[in-house]
Amino acid sequence: MKKAICPGSFDPVTLGHIDIIERAADIFDEVVVLVMSNRSKKDSLFTVEERMELIARSVNLANVKIDTYNGLLVDYVRNSGAVAIVKGLRAMSDFEYEFQQALTNKSLYPAAETMFLCARGENTFLSSSMVKEVCRLGGDIRPFVPESISDDIYKRCKGDN
Active site residues: 17, 41, 90, 128
To ligand ADP, the closest distance from the beta carbon of 100 in angstroms equals 13
Interface segment toward ligand ADP; rule CB under 6 A; list 25-33, 86-94, 134-142, 149-157: 86-94
Contact call for residue 58 and ligand ADP (CB under 6 A): no
User: What is the edge-to-edge ordering of all strands in the sheet holding 30-36?
Assistant: 64-69, 30-36, 3-8, 84-89, 113-118
Q: Does 90 bind ligand ADP (CB under 6 A)?
A: yes
In the complex with ligand ADP, which residue's Cβ is closer, 50 or 160? Answer: 50
By CB under 6 A, residue 88 contacts ligand ADP: yes
Q: Decide whether 82 or 126 has the Cβ nearer to ligand ADP.
A: 126
Residues 104-143 that bind ligand ADP (CB under 6 A): 119, 123, 126-128
Q: Taking CB under 6 A as the rule, does residue 10 contact ligand ADP?
A: yes
How far, in Å, CA of 131 to CA of 113, rounded?
30
Please tell me the distance from the alpha carbon of residue 9 to that of residue 145, in angstroms, as a whole number: 15
Alpha helices per DSSP H over the chain: 15-27, 48-58, 73-80, 92-108, 128-136, 150-158
Going by C-alpha positions, the residue among 64, 45, 47, 48 that lies closest to residue 56 is 64
Q: Cis (ω within 30 of 0) for the bond into 143? A: no
Residues that bind ligand ADP (CB under 6 A): 8-10, 14, 16-17, 20, 87-88, 90, 94, 119, 123, 126-128
